[in-house]
Structure 1
Amino acid sequence: MKLHLWLLLFFCVPAKIFAQTSPCCHSDAIKEFSMLAEREDFKMAHENPLPYKYEGMDGTTITFPTPDGKMGYGFLLKAKEPSDKYLFVYQEWWGVNDYIKKQSEKLYNDLNGTVNVLAVDMYDQKVAANREDAAKYMKDASLDRLESIMQGAIKYAGPDAEIASIGWCFGGGLALQSALLEGEHNIGVVMYYGMPEKDVNKLKTLTAPVLGIFGTKDKGINTELVDEFEKNMKEAGKTLMVKRYNADHGFANPSNPDYNVEATEDAYKHAIAFLRKQFE
């Protein structure tokens, strides 16, 4: 398959927000997913990314202060007209590589350039070219730092921001955690095979619906975890739409040996329709 087609199909605030009493990222969800990096079968399910250099439109690398006194980074595609609408894009375990930049551009175009699309760099400019480095970066990611980066991105978006989030793999779970931090500013979440939040009390704070996309062959984010997520969201009184595909973890990643074109196309159709509706 030609590279450009693979890329086309690819796919992993106000002060009151920062004053939450229970930091969202300090759940077991992100830690539990990070520990998958120690499993050999999980690592081997991720082929090293194919070489690709992003040469798309005028996305720019930005910086923003984070509450821990450091700087955060992101890749931003600005809306054609001034807008408070933001889509936060959360990376797979590789980092913000050129595939993520290309996917961010696709989302930007399919939202007609009306939304600011920000790929939030959760690895502080580290990008893995192989699964060994990706496993290390994901496992070593500090929960405090991850939360601080998300908080910095939320503040960057501004006090009037409407924010949706989308992510794959490691980023799938981060997209949900980001929504919890965003509070009333969140308008929707798309999570591809990410670790669900299991704390029902935290799920009760969600202010917008969630679209969860999962593979039934996934041994990490398995069927039992997805079933539990559906149960917990129902108990929390929140809206969760689940799409399940006869596919493995990372099925929407073209560099994955179990890349599934049909499932990727269908999943993206649902994802972009969901985002368009939330940004109306």
Structure 2
Amino acid sequence: MGTRIPFERPDGKPAEGYLAKAGKANAPGVVVIQEWWGLQDQIKGICDRFALAGYDALAPDLFNGKVIPYHDTDAAGREMNSLNFLEATDQLVRGAAQFLLRSSPKVAIAGFCLGGAVAMLGACRVPEFSAAICFYGLPPESVAKPSDVKVPLQGHFANSDDWVTPAAVNAFEKGLQAAGKSAEIFRYDAGHAFMNEQRSVHDRASAELAWNRTRAFLEKHIG
């Protein structure tokens, strides 16, 4: 449904990503951020799903064309650990938002796993975003504190998650509340990456509930 496109970073350097269009003028936009597996077909499918829901969706390629097979967690970890998260947010993610804003009145960010952490950084650092959605990913407080969030935020987390643990989510939610931030935090009786239908961790009931909540949140904040 979508296609790979070039776009420009704020610093003028070239970037690429997967764009799925809603097929209507002035559609709101969503920047979609990949998991640590790279710009997999599953993430492209998320973009296509947003397009069918009426949003122009662009997933910037944070790994510059490299896609990791699902079984190779060591390679995925190496790619994630070599990523400069702040530069990726300030350049690739912001560039994607600026690209969408050429035709979209408002733009949100939605990220999964590694992308969830980047979505949080985007909520703190990228002024083009009007809302942010984070799926089971949080950055260290040293680079993004709950009090740094600048837009309405929705978070989806798994109760069986040893990466973003329930304790970490509880602390994050308390920080948001203490800072008076506009946020919805949801927890699911599922495992990490429950939205990824290509993996055994997929939990259909949780995924559909999270998707419906995502749709309602976007409708409220960007149209």
What's the TM-score bracket when you normalise by the shorter of the two chains? 0.7 to 0.9
After TM superposition, the score normalised by the length of structure 2 is: 0.87
Q: TM-score, normalised by structure 1?
A: 0.71
Which amino acid letter does the alignment assign opposite residue 62 of structure 2?
Answer: M
- Which residue in the other structure is 2:112 paired with? 168
CA shift, 1:264, in A, is 1.4
Q: Is the 8 A contact 1:198 1:229 kept in 2?
A: no
Whole-Å Cα distance in 1 between the matches of residues 129 and 95 of structure 2? 15
Identity across the alignment (%)? 31
- More strand as a share of residues: 2
2:97 to 154, 157, 167: 154
Superposed CA deviations along residues 240-278 of structure 1, whole A, max 9, x for unmatched, are 111111122112222333322221121112112211222
Q: Which moved more, 1:142-151 or 1:185-194?
A: 142-151
Matched with 1:212 is: 155
1:90-101 paired onto structure 2 within 5 Å: 90-101=33-44
> How far is the alpha carbon of 1:196 from its aligned partner?
4.8
Q: Say if 1:163 and 1:182, in contact at 8 Å, map to a contact too.
A: no
Asked whether the 8 Å contact 2:47–2:58 carries over to 1, the reply is: yes
Listed one character per residue, the Cα deviations across residues 190-249 of structure 1 (whole Å, up to 9, x for unaligned) are 111011563698644544311111111111101111111111111222111111111221
How is 1:248-263 mapped onto 2 (pairs within 5 angstroms)? 248-263=191-206
1:86 Cα deviation after fit? 1.4
Equivalent residue number for residue 133 of structure 1: 75
Q: Which has the higher contact order (CA 8 A, sep 6+)?
A: 1
Query: What number of residue pairs does the alignment pair up?
Result: 219
Secondary structure, in 3 states, of the residue corresponding to 1:246? Answer: strand
Matched, 1:119 2:119: no
User: Which runs of 4 or more aligned residues in structure 1 lie more than 6 Å from their structure 2 counterparts after TM superposition?
Assistant: none
Task: Give the Å deviation of 1:90.
Answer: 0.6
Write the distance in 1 (CA, Å) between the matches of 2:106 and 2:192.
30
Tell me the amino acid that sits aligned with residue 110 of structure 2: I
**1:82 paired to 2:22:** no
Runs of 5+ unmatched residues, structure 1: 1-56
Which protein has the bigger helix share?
1
Structure 2, gaps ≥5 residues long: none
Whichever of the two has the greater Rg, that structure is 1
